[in-house]
A and B are shown apart, each in its own frame.
Chain A
Amino acid sequence: MIRGLYTAVTGLITGEAKQSVITNNLANANTTGFKSENLSIKKFDDVLIQNYDKIVNGKNTRNTIGSLSMGSEIDDVNTAFTQGLIQATDKSTDFAIEGKGFFTVQRDNGIDNKNYYTRSGNFHVDGQGYLVTDSGDKVLCKNKATNKIEPMFVGDGKLQADNYGNISINGKNLYKFNTVDFQDYKGIKKIGDNLFEGTNPIENPNITVRQNALEKSNVNVTNEMVNMMTVMRNFESNQKVIQAMDETLGKAVNEVGTVR
């Protein structure tokens, strides 16, 4: 009986974790370049249940009852890297990636520079004249003259880009976005500020980049809402199971064996 209590509790905890992922998706329903997440739940590994209640020749012998799973556990958080809607804007520093791929940005953490990846292309020009993200991380580009990867210097120039991320500043074709892709999307980790962390990026220059456009979040609000309802009711069911167990336990403790 007590075993069942704990089984129901694992259901409550995983339900809470799932709800937490859902609320984060809902919170980011308007975040540019956000990729929605899904928490998958699996059952605990089965355990073998046996007892010694069977009596053969006056001796208790082992009796296998069967296998039983003792609850549910968090399996994985999967990020859905599907395309978000592309919305046209009028800003020349807005970019959207169509299809696979990421922009590379450089974050200066005070000690050294670290590269991160993003799909959120709402850039602007900072006071030094570099193209940066909203959190001030420099957007990395390939300098066409030197073939070096470096931050893009715009200054007070006019920015124009074609569909492959080639960038002209004041009519001069100077840069190309350092767009990358990954072999294994499982290794990509979100770190906040719309950035991803990943290892072994593969440079892919054939990624479609649209200027004057932004990629919207790929969160499906209806789905999330329905999931939220499901999780909530599931939580309620588990709670009821616990209450039922509690009642049964109460009976066992207070009524079985009472002398009247």
Chain B
Amino acid sequence: MLRLLWNSRSSMMAQQEKLDVISNNIANVNTNGYKKINANFQDLVYESLDRKGYPVSSGADGKGTLQNGTGVKLSEWTRDNMQGNLTETGLSTDLAIDGTGYFEVVQPDNSKAYTRAGSFTTDANGTIVDSNGNRLSIIDEQGNDVNKVGGPYKFDKNNFKVDSNGIVTIKGNNGDLTAGKVKVSNVIGDNSMISVGDNLYMLKTGAEILESKDYSLRQGYLELSNVDIATEMTDMLMTQRAFQLSSNALKTADEMWQMANNMRSK
């Protein structure tokens, strides 16, 4: 009888976690550069029905299949790295990646983080920063980061241009200068980044960063969230119904147990 309760319990827990995933996706339907989380169900281990006290057909030829499952779990969460829609903003500090890869930003403690949300701005020091003050990595031909405090160039909202390859040109006194290239990094694997909040990702240990080859940059555009609200809503309905189903099964198991307990009372 315990098995019946546990089966339903595992299912209710898994459905609950799936609802968490869905609500997180729905909450981020308007977050720039958000990548939706995918989570699928997996069945749990199987146990034999051929156990003590169970009347089992002794002549069963397929004794190996005489087993029953023990419920369900939610698998590891993975990111769906599908491209989000691009929207035109007209702001020169907004950048969007069309293709694979992430912008690299340098946090105040000099650690590196990665993001798809390209709503940058310029600060008082003349650097291009995101909304939390993390600096966008722009690398010149020598491999030096030029977008830093005390760097060779001072960026403001109107004095730079970014082309589709990520080359940044800045207006100088004697015409345009090539300042450097916006660093677009990529990582192998769908699950090699940890989301750390504020639209930022950090590398998991062991994951290696490499240069993205398949992308083009758009200045004046932003990448929207890739969450499809209709899919999420249908998933939510299905999950909710499955939860209900399992709670019904739980109730039935409870009633059966009650019957067993009441066998002697009347």
Binding site for B on A (CB under 8 A): 10, 12-17, 19-24, 26-32, 34, 37, 39, 42, 44, 71-79, 90-91, 93, 120, 122, 124-129, 134-136, 155-156, 158, 186-194, 221, 225, 228-229, 232, 235-236, 239, 242-243, 246
A19 touches B56 (CB 8 A): no
A74 touches B56 (CB 8 A): yes
B57 touches A74 (CB 8 A): yes
CB contacts under 8 Å to A, within B236-255, are 238-239, 242, 245-246, 248-249, 252-253, 255
Which chain B residues border A188 with CB–CB below 8 Å? 65
A14 touches B41 (CB 8 A): no
8 Å CB contact of B42 from A15, A194, A225 = A194
Which chain A residues border B187 with CB–CB below 8 Å? 156
Which chain A residues border B10 with CB–CB below 8 Å? 27
B204 within 8 A of A: yes
Interface string of B38-51 (1 = CB under 8 A from A): 10111111100100
Q: Assuming A77-B65, A90-B82, A235-B259, is B42 touching A134 (CB within 8 A)?
A: yes
Which chain B residues border A225 with CB–CB below 8 Å? 245, 248
B177 within 8 A of A: no
> Would you give the shortest CB distance from B188 to chain A, in whole angstroms?
4
Q: Assuming A28-B72, A134-B40, is B259 touching A246 (CB within 8 A)?
A: no
Q: Assuming A16-B256, A20-B4, A189-B64, is B188 touching A127 (CB within 8 A)?
A: yes
A32 touches B69 (CB 8 A): no
8 Å CB contact of A192 from B44, B186, B256, B264 = B44
A20 to B9 Cα, complex, angstroms: 12
B11 within 8 A of A: yes
Q: 15 A-B residue contacts at CB 8 Å?
A: A16-B256, A19-B252, A19-B256, A26-B11, A27-B14, A28-B71, A31-B72, A71-B55, A77-B66, A91-B82, A136-B76, A187-B62, A189-B64, A194-B43, A232-B252
Nearest residue (CB) in A for B57 is A75
Which chain A residues border B80 with CB–CB below 8 Å? 90-91
Stretch in contact with the other chain, from B90-98, B109-117, B163-171, B189-197: B189-197
A16 touches B55 (CB 8 A): no
Nearest residue (CB) in A for B9 is A27
A127 touches B57 (CB 8 A): no
> Would you give the shortest CB distance from A242 to chain B, in whole angstroms?
6
A74 touches B54 (CB 8 A): yes
A76 to B249 Cα, complex, angstroms: 22
8 Å CB contact of A76 from B54, B57, B246 = B57
> Given contacts A24-B68, A239-B260, could you give 10 more A-B pairs where the C-beta distance is less than 8 Å?
A28-B11, A73-B56, A74-B49, A74-B66, A91-B80, A129-B189, A134-B75, A135-B42, A190-B69, A232-B255
Nearest residue (CB) in A for B46 is A190
> Would you give the shortest CB distance from B167 to chain A, in whole angstroms?
22
Nearest residue (CB) in B for A184 is B62
> Would you give the shortest CB distance from B73 to chain A, in whole angstroms?
9
Q: Assuming A30-B242, A31-B42, A194-B42, is B188 touching A20 (CB within 8 A)?
A: no
B89 within 8 A of A: no
8 Å CB contact of B190 from A30, A125, A191 = A125
B137 within 8 A of A: no
B72 touches A27 (CB 8 A): yes
8 Å CB contact of A135 from B72, B75, B239, B253 = B75
8 Å CB contact of B55 from A19, A44, A124, A190 = A44
B259 touches A27 (CB 8 A): no
